[in-house]
Chains A and B, each alone.
Chain A
């Protein structure tokens, strides 16, 4: 049960929010021709990395505003939340040891119990 820091309401329980999937995915605006494949990737394909991830959330049971965050998907730690009009933070500012799909974070994944 995470605590998510809504940029407008402050830190609230996860139960008040809905997840909105990958952030910073630009919608092709129909101003130019776009092939089936490229459009299909926009509609259906989203990244799913293990590790740091830009993500959208909406405060459904609160102010109903959308915002972005950086979450470490290997530990579920939300490292920062930021408003839609703020610049997206550089991922290198955050410590995450997960480098490969099969890598595990040093601590906090819940998949192992003993210190390596």
Chain B
């Protein structure tokens, strides 16, 4: 195919040569070229191999609907499946073709073509079924995986994307003739408007074709320049170019992707794509139409392309891919291509139309006659032939005779379809137009307006009236644009979906989907096999399931199916168009929410001290909590945890407990409210005292726990677990607002207002006396489970005597901004008493030695307080509280429920592991009845052996007996079932 440059083009800069490489060979193009236009300039037709049959493929279109010219950009982050028809070249770009080995010319995979008679519809479902189930996993799948896909995934991706949110009143999608006219109407009105176009030039068919000769008596390019300037100068309209709207969600929420490096190499460290998230009051779809092809034998040969695409190469890219293409059409849309060719001094080799002479427009007729173009009416192409490119076609003329025409390029037009993808994504409905033979937007679901060819309006005479009618809801001026056309104003088409093959052959292929290699024969076969519903048909044949979503062909398939089934196209329906409209990269979707920004990180007020003092952190929800502290780089986690816990029992330890939730509850009815939320009764509780409390779900299961401090009957402070802070507050608010709005009570979160220091160990009292010299910490003045307010260095603090470790301990609540200084002070004062920091792991170990549960570790939403042996925490005289009624359901009063017990290895040297199952038999013989599992497990240096908490059936009655714990190597460890407390059962160390 010999192309010719049309140098009078205003978009291509013919003085700026650009070199690029395709499959290792260097070529030249010009600034403004796409990869496709540059390749065509260099007469390169073969650009890829098809998915299934590895047939040679060329450039079929000039836009995003391209099914075959997909290439891999090596000089960037090796982005695969890039449409050569969209990506603009830059100096030094390196491109590789896809899906071929060892080369494009000689591809081993073309052997598939030989086997193609068996690769028919449903091949995968029928073939890879045997001879044995294992064959799929071990043989077929790996093979298919290697052969699957088109491009190769990038290995070292460094692209950066960001997000921009927009809130506007009107979004106009498409900056062509209609889009620009609509935008013009909104200039300097009160509406905030966004005008979006995919190209880097606004204009649509004004740039891409010669259909229009004058607009308001001006040359189209002059009118365009003026109009764009007016829109750019306006105060209320923003233009986004190089931006493709991929998704239309409910309600009027659009996702669009903008390429930030069009025509230049992506710069590392700079944003290369922006994802626009647009919330708009109204959407006006002016996104135009897509031309469709025709099916005949070998309609996939390189050198065949759509007629409007050929015209777009001429008008938009200053290039005629061939000097004398043949044109085959069934409609009037291709008339402007004939006009463009003649205007450029070229001549079609032949014009073939399936319509009769009377149906062909007079102006086209004249053009053809005057220029001596061979004309075939009532004719059809029976097939195209050639070796890796088109060399000749066979035409059946009106008399039925077959004519052979040698040609290097064939332009097809099977009709035009309004681009309804976005409209149907918006849940709008389509209707089949029997005259124009296409689906047009009908009933919208959202505030959506369609205009121009996107609405199915193919008649230029109706331009003004359509726009004026549909924009009536807005207070904008009426339009009265004068258009003069080079071609016909009306659209005419005669039905033609496919041409019957010239000869019957196993290898004769007439394609209906160029990307997934689906032939019209596949469609017939699928229907014969019973897949006559369009959604089934699509998946069984994979028709329109490629990355191009069958944009140039899916309507043809519906036409064929409706003929085969003898049903109206409306009855056949259409498959659902799913977003995104074109492939959307995950990096664009992620935006900046990746790596260290993936999830917010929450830090306690003491965080910087932890960093400086060897803390190794763990994630608790979004919080960073010290897991353990390393005294030197060699200390292992196990050693650190043993050291920390031993030190708490022997000297003193301090833990940063700031992350635990704290809620302040106040109001006249605070007492009644607290009694309803928690299982405990707080009525008789003394002011200034604290109590460990449980919160249940309405199903009776433990949901959270904490310590409740009673300041008065009207004023409480509750703590929660770290992970449960938001949930508990949310639950309180939910019940206060929705269930008991009559109760006068308010709650505020004070989690962040105070830092919490948990200090415990036998030396704690001495340390506290030194740190807070004005406070009396004697057992009489400050008993266990009481709290006091004090002022320290001008700052209000609260001290609660409580401990989660089982040692004498205190919780100190200090306003966060003052906390770091006080922490430092306590650290230095406590040194002489052996005070050392400990982390969450040591904390878990210490509390487990006392049998204290951790909600979410020892409970999983299926454990009641009774299961935990905590019946004493239930206020028996309370009439009602969350979950009360559920504690007497038939399921919750079962005797064989899983109950909390302690587990120690019968042989003290044996190891235990969290998650081990407790079973009765020493040998594992399936089926094995499982009694329960170990929920928490640690090694205790105080006890000298492993110990664990577990929930097992009938646990309470099994205390004192022996059982076994299963190991991962299918053996068992002998265990003793004991009371779930391993240390200081009488709590002497706690209360003295």
Chain A residues in the interface with B (C-beta under 8 A)? 1-3, 13, 20, 27-31, 34, 36, 39-40, 42-44, 56, 58, 60, 64-66, 75-76, 84-85, 106-115
| Contact indicator B574/A113 (Cβ below 8 Å) | yes
| Contact indicator A84/B738 (Cβ below 8 Å) | yes
Given A112-B573, A113-B430, verify A1-B249 contact (CB < 8 Å).
yes
| Contact indicator B427/A110 (Cβ below 8 Å) | yes
What are 9 contact pairs spanning A and B, CB under 8 A?
Answer: A1-B279, A3-B251, A20-B734, A27-B739, A43-B886, A58-B733, A107-B444, A112-B576, A114-B432
State how many angstroms separate the Cβ of A9 from the closest Cβ of chain B.
15
Q: Which of A13, A29, A109, A110 contacts B880 (CB 8 A)?
A: A29
Bound together, the chains give a CA A29 to CA B885 distance in angstroms of: 10
- Kindly report which residue of chain B lies nearest to residue A65, judged by CB atoms: B737
| Contact indicator A107/B427 (Cβ below 8 Å) | yes
Given A3-B251, A43-B699, verify A30-B880 contact (CB < 8 Å).
yes
Q: Judge if B429 is at the interface, Cβ distance under 8 Å.
A: yes
State how many angstroms separate the Cβ of A36 from the closest Cβ of chain B.
5
| Contact indicator A114/B699 (Cβ below 8 Å) | no
B417-432 Cβ-contact flags toward A at 8 Å (1 or 0): 0000000100111111
Q: Judge if B53 is at the interface, Cβ distance under 8 Å.
A: no
- Kindly report which residue of chain A lies nearest to residue B735, judged by CB atoms: A27
Q: Which of B251, B279, B427, B439 contacts A114 (CB 8 A)?
A: B439
- A40 contact set on B, CB distance < 8 A: 889
Bound together, the chains give a CA A75 to CA B427 distance in angstroms of: 9
State how many angstroms separate the Cβ of B571 from the closest Cβ of chain A.
9
| Contact indicator A110/B739 (Cβ below 8 Å) | no
Given A76-B250, A114-B432, verify A3-B279 contact (CB < 8 Å).
yes
Q: Judge if B884 is at the interface, Cβ distance under 8 Å.
A: yes
Top 9 nearest A-B pairs (CB, nearest first) are A30-B880, A108-B445, A115-B429, A1-B253, A108-B427, A66-B737, A115-B442, A114-B573, A115-B431
State how many angstroms separate the Cβ of A80 from the closest Cβ of chain B.
15
Q: Which of A1, A3, A66 contacts B738 (CB 8 A)?
A: A66
B726-745 Cβ-contact flags toward A at 8 Å (1 or 0): 00001001100111010000
| Contact indicator A115/B698 (Cβ below 8 Å) | no
- A115 contact set on B, CB distance < 8 A: 429-431, 442-443, 570
| Contact indicator A31/B889 (Cβ below 8 Å) | no
Chain B 693-745 interface residues, beta-carbon cutoff 8 Å to A: 698-699, 730, 733-734, 737-739, 741
- B133 contact set on A, CB distance < 8 A: none
- B428 contact set on A, CB distance < 8 A: 107
- B889 contact set on A, CB distance < 8 A: 36, 39-40
- B632 contact set on A, CB distance < 8 A: none
State how many angstroms separate the Cβ of A26 from the closest Cβ of chain B.
9
Q: Judge if B577 is at the interface, Cβ distance under 8 Å.
A: yes
Interface centre among A84, A113, A115 (most CB of B within 10 A): A113
Interface centre among A13, A60, A85 (most CB of B within 10 A): A13
- B885 contact set on A, CB distance < 8 A: 28, 30, 34, 39
Bound together, the chains give a CA A3 to CA B249 distance in angstroms of: 11
| Contact indicator B431/A114 (Cβ below 8 Å) | yes
| Contact indicator A30/B737 (Cβ below 8 Å) | no
- A31 contact set on B, CB distance < 8 A: 879-880
Q: Judge if B387 is at the interface, Cβ distance under 8 Å.
A: no
- B430 contact set on A, CB distance < 8 A: 113-115
Given A29-B880, A44-B699, A58-B734, verify A107-B250 contact (CB < 8 Å).
no
| Contact indicator B250/A1 (Cβ below 8 Å) | yes
- A110 contact set on B, CB distance < 8 A: 427, 576
- Kindly report which residue of chain B lies nearest to residue A58, judged by CB atoms: B734
Q: Which of B253, B573, B879, B886 contacts A113 (CB 8 A)?
A: B573
- B431 contact set on A, CB distance < 8 A: 114-115
Bound together, the chains give a CA A114 to CA B136 distance in angstroms of: 39
Mostly, the A contact residues are loop
Interface centre among B428, B737, B739, B885 (most CB of A within 10 A): B885
- Kindly report which residue of chain B lies nearest to residue A39, judged by CB atoms: B885
Q: Which of A28, A29, A84, A111 contacts B737 (CB 8 A)?
A: A84
Interface centre among B249, B445, B699 (most CB of A within 10 A): B445
- Kindly report which residue of chain A lies nearest to residue B736, judged by CB atoms: A66
State how many angstroms separate the Cβ of A90 from the closest Cβ of chain B.
21
Bound together, the chains give a CA A1 to CA B885 distance in angstroms of: 39
- Kindly report which residue of chain B lies nearest to residue A38, judged by CB atoms: B885
State how many angstroms separate the Cβ of A97 from the closest Cβ of chain B.
13
Bound together, the chains give a CA A28 to CA B570 distance in angstroms of: 52
- Kindly report which residue of chain A lies nearest to residue B439, judged by CB atoms: A114
- Kindly report which residue of chain B lies nearest to residue A78, judged by CB atoms: B251
Given A66-B737, A66-B738, verify A114-B879 contact (CB < 8 Å).
no
Bound together, the chains give a CA A13 to CA B698 distance in angstroms of: 30
| Contact indicator B445/A75 (Cβ below 8 Å) | yes
Q: Judge if B106 is at the interface, Cβ distance under 8 Å.
A: no
- B429 contact set on A, CB distance < 8 A: 107, 112-115
Bound together, the chains give a CA A110 to CA B578 distance in angstroms of: 10
- A76 contact set on B, CB distance < 8 A: 250
Bound together, the chains give a CA A85 to CA B408 distance in angstroms of: 76
| Contact indicator B427/A56 (Cβ below 8 Å) | no
Bound together, the chains give a CA A107 to CA B439 distance in angstroms of: 16
Bound together, the chains give a CA A114 to CA B445 distance in angstroms of: 13
Chain B 845-885 interface residues, beta-carbon cutoff 8 Å to A: 879-880, 884-885
Bound together, the chains give a CA A112 to CA B442 distance in angstroms of: 13
Q: Judge if B890 is at the interface, Cβ distance under 8 Å.
A: yes
Bound together, the chains give a CA A56 to CA B733 distance in angstroms of: 14
Bound together, the chains give a CA A40 to CA B184 distance in angstroms of: 62
Given A1-B250, A66-B737, A114-B439, verify A30-B698 contact (CB < 8 Å).
no
Bound together, the chains give a CA A34 to CA B432 distance in angstroms of: 59
| Contact indicator A85/B741 (Cβ below 8 Å) | yes
Bound together, the chains give a CA A26 to CA B429 distance in angstroms of: 40
Bound together, the chains give a CA A75 to CA B738 distance in angstroms of: 27
New contact pairs (15) apart from A43-B699, A66-B734, A113-B574, CB-CB < 8 Å: A1-B250, A1-B253, A30-B879, A31-B880, A64-B733, A66-B737, A84-B738, A107-B429, A108-B445, A109-B427, A113-B424, A113-B429, A113-B575, A114-B432, A115-B443
Bound together, the chains give a CA A79 to CA B541 distance in angstroms of: 41
Bound together, the chains give a CA A6 to CA B432 distance in angstroms of: 40
B489-517 Cβ-contact flags toward A at 8 Å (1 or 0): 00000000000000000000000000000
State how many angstroms separate the Cβ of A61 from the closest Cβ of chain B.
11
- Kindly report which residue of chain B lies nearest to residue A115, judged by CB atoms: B429
- Kindly report which residue of chain A lies nearest to residue B255, judged by CB atoms: A1
Given A30-B885, A40-B889, A64-B733, verify A113-B577 contact (CB < 8 Å).
yes
Chain B 243-257 interface residues, beta-carbon cutoff 8 Å to A: 249-251, 253
Bound together, the chains give a CA A1 to CA B446 distance in angstroms of: 13
- B439 contact set on A, CB distance < 8 A: 114
Bound together, the chains give a CA A114 to CA B432 distance in angstroms of: 8
State how many angstroms separate the Cβ of A54 from the closest Cβ of chain B.
13
- B884 contact set on A, CB distance < 8 A: 30
- Kindly report which residue of chain B lies nearest to residue A30, judged by CB atoms: B880
- B738 contact set on A, CB distance < 8 A: 56, 66, 84
- A36 contact set on B, CB distance < 8 A: 889-890
- B737 contact set on A, CB distance < 8 A: 65-66, 84
State how many angstroms separate the Cβ of A47 from the closest Cβ of chain B.
17
| Contact indicator B734/A114 (Cβ below 8 Å) | no
| Contact indicator B279/A107 (Cβ below 8 Å) | no
- B427 contact set on A, CB distance < 8 A: 75, 107-110
Chain B 141-156 interface residues, beta-carbon cutoff 8 Å to A: none
Bound together, the chains give a CA A20 to CA B733 distance in angstroms of: 13
Q: Which of B443, B879, B880, B886 contacts A107 (CB 8 A)?
A: B443
State how many angstroms separate the Cβ of B257 from the closest Cβ of chain A.
16
- Kindly report which residue of chain A lies nearest to residue B578, judged by CB atoms: A110
Bound together, the chains give a CA A27 to CA B279 distance in angstroms of: 38
- Kindly report which residue of chain A lies nearest to residue B698, judged by CB atoms: A43
Bound together, the chains give a CA A4 to CA B914 distance in angstroms of: 45
- A85 contact set on B, CB distance < 8 A: 741
| Contact indicator A113/B443 (Cβ below 8 Å) | no
- Kindly report which residue of chain A lies nearest to residue B254, judged by CB atoms: A1
Bound together, the chains give a CA A2 to CA B574 distance in angstroms of: 26
